[in-house]
Amino acid sequence: MSMAFERMLNDIVSLIKSDGQRFDNVKALVDSKIIFISDSTLLIEEGDKITRELPNGLTETYIVLDRGYYSAHFGMAAHYQVKVEKETARNANSLTQVLETGGNVSTSMPAVKIRNVLTHYFNETELRNLCCDMQIDYEALSGSGKTDKARELVLWCQHHHRYEELLTVCQNLRPNVFKSDSRQE
């Protein structure tokens, strides 16, 4: 990274892997939705957590949505531009959805289940059509295959407060899948 950018990295964060492994004292620049990290040797993956201690003693925890790795280019060293969401915001959004619907089970369906439905019960053309019907740019979703696109669609809908709409569309297009799922619960 350029020296000017390196000097802007004035936050110290910790990377916590899903297996509990922890990397402390990582220089970063923290913003509300993105964290810049110059240490390109770190293995940052979606689902990892990044924590930051605040001067008042509180700790902020962010969930990695997209690692955002950038190779060295035009004098800028390899680095990460990590897309994140605050853990407290994610928990608050889930609780709000359940409260707004009176605890309706369909809105509290875990994202992993809807992602699996999209992956296993829709082909790529159907997934493209679903995105078109919802006015979501399929090509703008990160990833290269159907599985990646399904994951990113779920994350995009959660982030843009359209998860309920996605769930409703999927239930309408594949009602038998959701009927059999509700009997298992």
pLDDT in tens, the chain (185 residues): 456 557 778 889 999 998 889 999 999 999 888 999 989 899 999 889 999 998 888 889 999 999 999 888 877 888 899 999 887 765 545 444 444 444 443 445 778 888 888 999 999 999 999 999 899 999 989 888 888 999 999 988 888 888 888 988 888 888 887 765 444 44
Q: Of all helices (H) and strands (E), which one includes residue 78?
A: none
Q: Of all helices (H) and strands (E), which one includes residue 2?
A: none
Neighbours of 174 (CB within 10 A): 17
Distance CA 74, CA 106 (A): 49
**The pLDDT value given to residue 2:** 56
Neighbours of 79 (CB within 10 A): 20
Per CATH, the architecture of 3-86 is what? Beta Barrel (2.40)
**The pLDDT value given to residue 45:** 92
- pTM here is 0.49
Cβ neighbors of 85 (< 8 A, separation 6 or more) are 33, 62, 63, 65, 159
